[in-house]
Amino acid sequence: DLSAHYELVNDIDASDTSNWNGGSGFDPIGEYGASDVTFTGSFDGNGYTISGLYIYRNSTNAIGLFGMTRDGAEITQVGLENVDITGEDYVGPLVGYHQNSTVTEAYATGTISGDYRVGGLIGEIYDSTGDSEVSMSYATANVTGNNQVGGLVGSNYGGEVTNSFATGYVSGSGGGLLGYNSGTVTDSYWDTETTGQSFSNGGTGLTTDEMKGDAAKTNMNF
């Protein structure tokens, strides 16, 4: 039921997903397409983690734990740790294609790779209703792609990113926090040293020392 409410009640070890579906790994929740095949419900992680999630679908679009969310979907309080995720376009460990939906208090670590619109947490944010948002979230995942590659979000078309940051290495055309941005970015940051990126389409670049300890309290406004 892609429109229902779900909650985690334990941490999940998903490392065995590398053996699923003939080596393709986990099948994302929701597909890129019409509303009846995309996730429109809510998911509350309750602060738990999903570790070792594996997906290898290098010729498929909208790849992540959630392939595509839309129409008011909500994802909150979940961590994805040590993921290994490969897709084609719209690739992110939490959500591949995030349309008119919200993500709050989420994070991801591991490795992400794709071609176009690839992010350390979300592949693409798309907003046509004024309510697409990612807030209080971060990514330390290493991200590799060709175009619109970002440490947190690959591309942001009209959405809002607030109180978030990225520190993972970014390889490809894009930026330390966002690879492309036509939306709003508020109080969000990327590490110019660990990401290997001096530029981002939105956000504020800080050094590693500026993002740690007491310095972070001064430099990061959240």
- Tell me the per-residue pLDDT of 39-55, one tens digit each, with 9 for 90 and over: 999 999 999 999 999 99
Place of tokens 């660990």: 194
Q: Residue 200 — very low, low, confident or very high, per pLDDT cuts 50/70/90?
A: very high
Whole-angstrom distance, CA of residue 90 vs CA of residue 154: 8
Q: Residue 131 — very low, low, confident or very high, per pLDDT cuts 50/70/90?
A: confident
Q: Residue 193 — very low, low, confident or very high, per pLDDT cuts 50/70/90?
A: very high
pTM of the model: 0.97
Strands 165-166 and 122-126: unpaired
Q: Is residue 70 within 8 Å of residue 40, measured between CB atoms?
A: yes
Residue 104 is predicted with a pLDDT of 98
Place of tokens 């997906």: 55
Whole-angstrom distance, CA of residue 103 vs CA of residue 43: 10
Which residues have CB under 8 Å from 33's CB, separation 6+?
A: 68
Of the chain, the percentage scoring pLDDT greater than 90 comes to 96
- Token couple for 177: 């926090």
Whole-angstrom distance, CA of residue 110 vs CA of residue 84: 6
Q: Is residue 158 within 8 Å of residue 126, measured between CB atoms?
A: yes
Residue 14 is predicted with a pLDDT of 98
Whole-angstrom distance, CA of residue 220 vs CA of residue 57: 36
Whether 35 shows a pLDDT value over 80: the answer reads no
Residue 140 is predicted with a pLDDT of 98
- Higher pLDDT pick, 33 / 200: 200
Burial level of 86, CB count in 10 A (0-12/13-18/19+)?
buried
Q: Is residue 36 within 8 Å of residue 8, measured between CB atoms?
A: no
Q: How far is CA 43 from CA 73, 82, 141, 189, in A?
A: 8, 20, 22, 26
Phi, psi angles (nearest 5°) of residue 61: -90, 155
At 184, is the secondary structure helix, strand, or coil?
A: strand
Average pLDDT value over all residues in the chain: 97
Of 65, 74, 67, 64, which Cα lies nearest the Cα of 44? 74
How far does Cα 24 stand from its chain's mean position? 20
Whole-angstrom distance, CA of residue 41 vs CA of residue 101: 10
Residue 64 is predicted with a pLDDT of 98
Whole-angstrom distance, CA of residue 194 vs CA of residue 152: 13
Q: Residue 33 — very low, low, confident or very high, per pLDDT cuts 50/70/90?
A: confident
